[in-house]
């Protein structure tokens, strides 16, 4: 009997899955490694001996002893042509697969271990660290570095993995950094350090007013892009434009196949993908899995856009153990997004993080929601623009439409508040603002503010010598108001008491004279010089002006 056309159609989830797999993302660039198998083993004699006796043939061993090895062991290593240094302390390791540089204190002297053991080469390809604690203590250590300690099972796993790490390897360059948008620092004042605090690999370092990212140490965790308030750090695997377009295609296919009330289930490409393969048949038909390279590689721009496009809930599935930075970053960002959503009357758990072991008990259905239209905005290259477009769409159909909603400290949106009694309009805050949220009044003493541009980096607060500025995290839903130039403070102009030239504000002169009136250098006529412009002050110094007190 011939099948009906409907019986050949995929179900809604299958249709969305096919749409996602058919979409081709824009490729990113690649980072290349080369390893020749030069393995540095670090540890005491008892830990090192069993390893050196069973090194895979493709690995060439070198040893840093943290103690003094017994003479028979030393002779054995020499006979097998395994160079070593002993005893070593203060071991410092930098680098990555194929390019590890190691500095140690040996015999009271700082020694470059590569130069001592590898001449004419200076770098090791791989490191097996048997110390406890290890030399590198990071949630995600560099590729090519293994620290099993004295755990026999982990040591066996490490040796097997090391044997596979000889040759040439490529990995994606996961990030794009746009320094012109970075709010890390200005004028040697540190502001935002969100990416530095979030990175679990140690790939990001401060470089004065900007940061630098080592593409060889970056392993695609994605937290730096997720927490970046300005969009200076972007994830490239895939790009935001590709990710959001793929979501729209998934939803189009889902609805065309008759699906209803879709929920998005985000998972990573390792433990999460394995869990989905085992449990997908148990998922309700309206739950659509979506694979990310890493769970931390999605943020508010992605989650809120998913809700605006038509998903009723976004669930992040932690199938494996999350690192502390990943768990903290996701909790914070989900919290900020939840505050914005609950401010509009949406369920606060419309975006949530759950563990695989809590499934399916975490599958309570969402309360019925009013029918709403689905957004069709295209992804933009600017993170904050995408967030704004998503929130604007949700706000227009929200159960509640307040003017603003208060956010927790650390949120990337908000205003600044100025204590007018303290502010002298020195404009130090304007000079350090990286996002042009603050501006002066050109020819008049004024401080202006554009809330839509403010990323709450705190540079203005730290730069203010009068401690007159404080941050106030919130989300202002009226974007016309958020983009409006707002006058925060203005002062009367102070004119030179000799020539009448405007050169400061009344508040600034008042503050200066109050602070210096008892200083021995500013008594009598000298105090009057504080009331003069720079030209008249010079003339007064050389006796060409009146000396009235």
Residue 240 has pLDDT above 70, yes or no: yes
Q: Is residue 19 part of a domain?
A: no
Whether residues 479 and 508 fall in one domain: no
Is the preceding peptide bond at 238 cis, omega within 30 degrees of 0?
A: yes
- The DSSP result for 212-246, as a single string, is EE-TTT-----HHHHH-SSS-EEE-TT-HHHHHHH
User: By the 8 A CB rule, do 493 and 445 touch?
Assistant: yes
Element (H, E) at 47: helix 45-52
Whether residues 62 and 183 fall in one domain: no
Residue 30 has pLDDT above 80, yes or no: yes
- Domain range for 252 is 240-364+374-402
Average pLDDT of every residue of the chain:
92
Q: What is the mean pLDDT of residues 356-363?
A: 78
User: Does the CA dihedral 397-398-401-406 come out positive or negative?
Assistant: negative
Distance CA(14)–CA(163), nearest Å, equals 40
Q: Which pLDDT does position 545 carry in this prediction?
A: 57
User: By the 8 A CB rule, do 314 and 264 touch?
Assistant: yes
Q: How far is CA 7 from the centre of its chain?
A: 47
Q: What is the mean pLDDT of residues 216-238?
A: 96
Number of helical H runs and strand E runs in the chain: 19, 28
| CATH number of the domain that residue 210 is part of | 3.30.70.20
Whether residues 308 and 455 fall in one domain: no
Q: How many domains does the chain have?
A: 5
Whether residues 208 and 230 fall in one domain: yes
> Which residues make beta-bridge pairs with 127?
40, 145
| Per-residue model confidence as pLDDT tens digits over 70-107 | 999 989 999 999 999 999 999 999 999 999 999 999 98
Backbone φ and ψ of 291, nearest 5°: -90, 135
Residue in this structure with the two tokens 């200066």, named with its chain if needed: 512
Q: Which pLDDT does position 546 carry in this prediction?
A: 52
Q: Which pLDDT does position 520 carry in this prediction?
A: 81
Backbone φ and ψ of 40, nearest 5°: -100, 125
Whether residues 39 and 124 fall in one domain: yes
Whether residues 70 and 113 fall in one domain: yes
Residue 54 has pLDDT above 70, yes or no: yes
| Per-residue model confidence as pLDDT tens digits over 269-315 | 999 999 999 999 989 999 999 999 999 999 999 999 999 999 999 99
CA atoms within 13 A on the CB side of 307: 32
Q: What band does 368 get if pLDDT is binned at 50, 70 and 90?
A: low
Residue 411 has pLDDT above 80, yes or no: yes
Residue 320 has pLDDT above 60, yes or no: yes
Distances (CA, A) of 395 to 305, 375, 403: 12, 12, 10
């Amino acid at each position: 009997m011939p099948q009906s056309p409907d019986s050949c159609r995929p179900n809604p989830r299958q249709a969305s899955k096919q749409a996602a797999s058919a979409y081709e993302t824009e490729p990113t660039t690649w980072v290349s490694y080369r390893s020749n198998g030069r393995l540095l083993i670090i540890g005491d004699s008892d830990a090192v001996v069993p390893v050196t006796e069973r090194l895979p043939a493709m690995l060439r061993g070198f040893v840093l002893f943290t103690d003094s090895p017994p003479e028979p062991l030393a002779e054995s290593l020499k006979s097998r042509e395994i160079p070593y240094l002993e005893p070593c302390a203060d071991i410092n390791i930098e680098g990555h697969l194929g390019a590890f540089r190691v500095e140690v204190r040996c015999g009271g002297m700082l020694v470059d271990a590569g130069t001592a053991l590898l001449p004419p080469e200076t770098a090791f390809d791989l490191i097996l660290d048997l110390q406890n604690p290890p030399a590198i203590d990071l949630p995600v250590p560099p590729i090519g570095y293994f620290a099993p300690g004295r755990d026999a099972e982990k040591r066996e796993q490490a040796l097997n993995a090391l044997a596979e790490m000889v040759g040439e390897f490529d990995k994606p360059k996961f990030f794009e950094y746009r320094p012109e948008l970075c709010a890390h620092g200005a004028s040697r004042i540190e502001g935002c350090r969100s990416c530095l605090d979030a990175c679990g690999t140690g790939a990001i370092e401060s470089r004065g007013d900007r940061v630098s990212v080592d593409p060889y140490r970056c392993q695609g965790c994605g937290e730096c892009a997720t927490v970046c308030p300005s969009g200076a750090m972007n994830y490239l695997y895939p790009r935001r434009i590709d990710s959001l377009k793929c979501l729209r295609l998934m939803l189009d296919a889902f609805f065309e196949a008759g699906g209803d009330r879709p929920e998005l289930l985000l998972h990573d490409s390792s433990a999460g993908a394995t869990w989905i393969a085992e449990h997908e048949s148990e998922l309700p038909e309206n739950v659509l899995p979506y694979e990310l390279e890493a769970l931390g590689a999605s943020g508010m721009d992605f989650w809120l856009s998913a809700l605006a496009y038509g998903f009723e809930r976004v669930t992040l599935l932690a199938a494996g153990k999350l690192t502390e930075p990943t768990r903290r970053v996701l909790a914070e960002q989900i919290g900020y997004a939840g505050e914005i959503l609950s401010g509009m009357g949406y369920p606060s758990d419309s975006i949530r993080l759950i563990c695989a072991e809590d499934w399916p008990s975490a599958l309570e259905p969402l309360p019925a929601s009013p029918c709403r239209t689905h957004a069709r905005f295209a992804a933009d290259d600017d993170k904050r623009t995408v967030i704004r477009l998503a929130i604007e769409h949700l706000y227009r159909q929200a159960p509640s439409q307040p003017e603003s909603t208060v956010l927790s400290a650390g949120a990337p949106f908000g205003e600044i508040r100025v204590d007018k009694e303290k502010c002298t309009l020195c404009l130090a805050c304007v000079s350090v603002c990286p996002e042009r949220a603050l501006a002066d009044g050109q020819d008049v003493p004024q401080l202006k503010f554009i809330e839509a541009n403010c990323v709450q980096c705190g540079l203005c607060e730290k730069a203010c010598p009068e401690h007159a500025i404080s941050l106030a995290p919130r989300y202002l839903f009226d974007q016309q108001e958020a983009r409006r130039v707002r006058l925060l403070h203005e002062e009367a102009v102070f004119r030179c008491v000799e020539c009448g030239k405007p050169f400061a504000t009344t508040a600034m002169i008042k503050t200066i004279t109050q602070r210096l009136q008892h200083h021995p250098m500013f008594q009598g006529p000298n105090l009057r010089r504080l009331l003069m412009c720079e030209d008249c002050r010079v003339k007064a110094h050389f006796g060409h002006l009146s000396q009235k007190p």
